[in-house]
Amino acid sequence: MASGDEKGAVRYDRLTILLHWLVVLAIAFQWLGAHTIDWFPKGPLRVDARSVHIMIGWILALSLACRIWWRRAGGTRLNPAGPPVLHGVARLMHVLLYANLIGVVGLGIVGSFVRGDDIFGLFHLAKLSLPISDARSQITDLHRIAANSMLILGGIHALSGLLHHFVLRDGVLQRMWPLAR
């Protein structure tokens, strides 16, 4: 694995790419899953659907933590591409993406404890009691808003990658694309 500032490197290292796309897929799965949980009838099937959502949320939390750690500890660092203003916008977008995702995951974890969710009928999470009236509803609403914001930010991020690839033709998309050589 590559480490530090890599002069001449044109792609991120395999772990950075793997963690990026794992997070992308988990976000998409979570967003779609959250919108289908209530399609299941109340009872074991809905408990299982919510349990899958919670477990993928924990995988997302761990993937995000690994990604942040790897980025700080040893991931490949590439030189900025394009004019400085685009680099500044890209940095801002990444800060917003990370902050929003930490918020979504954090709210999801707190919400599952506020509800005291049943996990696959095997055990219940310890029910957290908050001194806020209707905390469950408020946390759920904030989680939903943050998740929708994540999708919007991720969409802008993806469109920016496509802009770099098809309009600017500067190779930025290939840096993180898993199939590029």
**The pTM is what?**
0.88
The pLDDT assigned to 9 comes to 67
Backbone angles phi, psi at 121, to 5 degrees: 70, 10
User: Residue 8: its pLDDT value, please?
Assistant: 56
Residue 107 near residue 142 (C-beta atoms within 8 A): yes
pLDDT in the model for residue 52: 97
Residue span of the structural domain in which 137 resides:
14-176
DSSP 8-state assignment for residue 131: S
Domain contains 3: no
Q: What is the mean pLDDT of each run of 10 residues along the chain (181 residues)?
A: 52 94 96 96 96 97 95 88 87 96 97 95 92 90 97 96 91 88 63
| pLDDT confidence of residue 3 | 41
Those residues with Cβ within 8 angstroms of residue 42's Cβ, 6 or more apart along the chain or in another chain: none
Residue 181 lies in a domain: no
**Does residue 6 belong to any structural domain of this protein?**
no
Number of structural domains found in the chain: 1
The answer to whether residue 87 is domain-embedded is: yes
Query: Which 3-state string (H, E, C) describes 73-122?
Result: HCCCECCCCCCHHHHHHHHHHHHHHHHHHHHHHHHHHHHHHHHCCEECCC
Q: What pLDDT does residue 131 have?
A: 83
9 domain-assigned: no
Residue 4 falls inside a structural domain? no
Q: Helices (DSSP H) in the chain: which residue ranges?
A: 14-34, 44-73, 84-115, 135-163, 172-176
What pLDDT is recorded for position 98? 97
Closest CA to 103 of 146, 148, 138: 146
In a domain, 7, yes or no: no
- Structural domain contains residue 61: yes
Four-CA torsion 144, 56, 135, 114, nearest 10 degrees: 170
Torsion sign (Cα): 25, 29, 146, 128: negative
